[in-house]
C-alpha cells in the first residue's frame, strides 16, 4: 500500500469532441507563455543590463517565442529518440511522432533551443550571451510545469523506497485494462516532484536573486553558467532517486549510473566555463 495516496487526476485535462487535451501539452504551453511573460519583464527593465540598455526589445521577444517553441519541441523529441529510444524507433518509425511514448528529453530540448537562440541572435544583431541569459532565467518555469505534468501522468517515477512520502503510482486513469500499473504495485519516490522543486522553484529563485539582487545580467553569460551548472547538479542528484528508463537501465554494469547523469556531467563543466568566461570578459572591460 502507498504511504501517501497518488492523486486521482486524469492525465486528460478536457476533451473537445474527439480531441483530448492532456495536462502534459498544457504544461508546455503554460511554461512557454509564463516564461515569455517573465522574459518581457526582464527585457523591459533597462537597469538590469550592461550600460542600462536592454539588448533586446519586447517586440523581438514576441517574434522569438515561435523560434524557442520549435526548438523545445523538435529538439526535445529528437533528443529523446537519439538518447533513449532509437532501437524502438528503428523498429517502428511511426513511434517517432508518438510523443506519448517516452515523451521529450530536456538535453535535446536544450540543444534545439540553443540552436534557435544562436540563429535568431545573429539574424537580429542581438548579443548571443545576453539572449542566452534571458532564456536561462525563465527556463525553470517550464521545467516546473513539465515535471508536475510528469507527476500527473504517473511517469518517470522514482526508485523503491520506504520514506513516509513514498507513493504507488497508480490510479483509475493510468491503470491498464489488465489491472496493472506501469510503475507496479510498489512504493516509490515521487522524483518528479523533487525535480520540480530543485530544477524549477529553487533554480528560478536563485537566478532571480542573481538578476535583481546582484545585477548579474550586467555580466553577460554568468546567469547562463549558473543555470546550466545548477540544472546539471540538480538532475544528477535526483537521478539517485529516479528509476532509470526501462529500455536502458543502469549503465556500465553499475546499480546507480544512469543516462541522465552521463548527459548532465558535461553540463557542470560547461556551466563553470561559462561563469569563468563571463567574469574574465567583465574584468577585461574594466
d(CA 72, CA 233): 21
User: Hey, which bits of the chain come out as E strands?
Assistant: 12-16, 19-22
Q: Residue 182: its pLDDT value, please?
A: 84
Q: What percentage of residues in the chain have a pLDDT greater than 70?
A: 98
Whether residue 95 is predicted with pLDDT greater than 90 in this model: the reply is: no
Residue 130 lies in a domain: yes
3 lies in a domain? no
pTM recorded for the entire structure: 0.91
Q: Are 61 and 36 in contact (CB under 8 A)?
A: yes
Whether residue 8 is contained in a domain is answered as no
- The contacts of residue 131 (CB under 8 Å, 6+ apart) are 55, 56, 64, 117, 120, 121
Of residues 84 and 120, the one with the higher pLDDT is 120
What is the model's pLDDT at position 2? 46
pLDDT at 34 > cutoff 80: yes
* Domain annotation covers residue 139: yes
State how far the alpha carbon of 34 is from the alpha carbons of 28, 137, 172, in Å. Answer: 10, 12, 31
pLDDT score for 246 = 83
Lowest-pLDDT range, 164-173, 176-185, 238-247, 276-285? 176-185
Q: What pLDDT, on a 0 to 100 scale, did the predictor assign at position 206?
A: 98
In the prediction, which pLDDT does 101 show?
A: 64
Confidence of residue 28 (pLDDT cuts 50, 70, 90): confident
Would you state the cell numbers that stand for residue 142, as one nine-digit string? 517550464
Greater pLDDT, 77 or 134: 134
For residues 135 and 129, what is the distance between their CA atoms, to the nearest angstrom?
10
Residue 13 falls within a domain, yes or no?
Answer: no
220 or 17: which carries more pLDDT confidence? 220
9 within some domain:
no
C-alpha distance across the termini of the chain, in Å: 62
Residue 14 lies in a domain: no
User: What mean pLDDT is predicted for residues 65-91?
Assistant: 89
- At 100 the pLDDT is 60
Q: How far apart, in whole angstroms, are the C-alpha atoms of residue 119 and residue 121? A: 6
As a whole number, mean pLDDT of residues 150-158 equals: 93
Q: Is 12 domain-assigned?
A: no
Cell numbers at 227, concatenated = 543555470
Predicted local distance difference test score (pLDDT) of residue 126: 97
Q: What is the mean pLDDT of residues 75-96?
A: 86
Structural domain boundaries enclosing 207: 20-281
State the pLDDT at residue 262.
96
Domain tally, the chain: 1
The residues pairing with 14 across neighbouring beta strands, listed in sequence order, are 21
Amino acid at each position: 500500500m502507498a504511504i501517501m495516496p497518488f492523486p486521482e487526476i486524469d492525465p486528460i485535462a478536457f476533451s473537445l469532441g474527439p480531441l483530448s487535451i492532456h495536462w502534459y501539452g498544457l504544461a508546455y504551453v503554460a511554461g512557454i507563455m509564463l516564461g515569455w511573460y517573465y522574459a518581457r519583464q526582464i527585457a523591459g527593465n533597462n537597469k538590469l543590463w550592461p550600460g542600462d540598455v536592454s539588448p533586446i526589445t519586447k517586440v523581438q521577444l514576441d517574434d522569438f517565442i515561435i523560434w524557442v517553441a520549435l526548438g523545445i519541441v523538435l529538439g526535445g523529441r529528437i533528443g529523446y529518440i537519439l538518447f533513449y529510444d532509437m532501437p524502438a524507433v528503428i523498429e517502428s518509425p511511426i513511434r517517432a511522432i508518438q510523443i506519448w511514448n517516452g515523451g521529450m528529453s530536456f538535453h535535446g530540448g536544450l540543444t534545439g533551443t540553443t540552436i534557435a537562440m544562436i540563429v535568431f541572435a545573429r539574424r537580429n544583431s542581438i548579443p548571443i550571451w545576453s539572449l542566452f541569459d534571458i532564456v536561462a532565467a525563465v527556463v525553470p518555469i517550464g521545467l516546473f510545469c513539465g515535471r508536475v505534468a510528469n507527476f500527473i501522468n504517473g511517469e518517470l517515477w522514482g526508485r523503491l523506497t520506504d520514506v513516509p512520502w513514498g507513493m504507488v503510482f497508480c490510479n483509475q486513469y493510468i491503470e491498464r485494462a489488465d489491472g496493472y500499473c506501469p510503475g507496479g504495485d510498489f512504493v516509490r519516490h515521487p522524483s518528479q516532484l523533487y525535480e520540480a522543486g530543485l530544477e524549477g522553484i529553487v533554480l528560478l529563485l536563485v537566478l532571480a536573486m542573481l538578476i535583481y539582487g546582484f545585477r548579474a545580467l550586467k555580466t553577460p553569460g554568468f546567469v547562463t553558467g549558473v543555470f546550466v551548472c545548477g540544472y546539471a547538479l540538480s538532475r544528477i542528484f535526483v537521478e539517485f532517486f529516479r528509476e532509470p528508463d526501462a529500455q536502458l537501465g543502469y549503465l556500465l554494469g553499475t546499480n546507480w549510473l544512469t543516462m541522465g547523469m552521463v548527459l548532465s556531467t558535461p553540463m557542470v563543466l560547461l556551466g563553470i566555463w561559462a561563469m569563468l568566461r563571463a567574469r574574465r570578459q567583465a574584468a577585461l572591460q574594466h
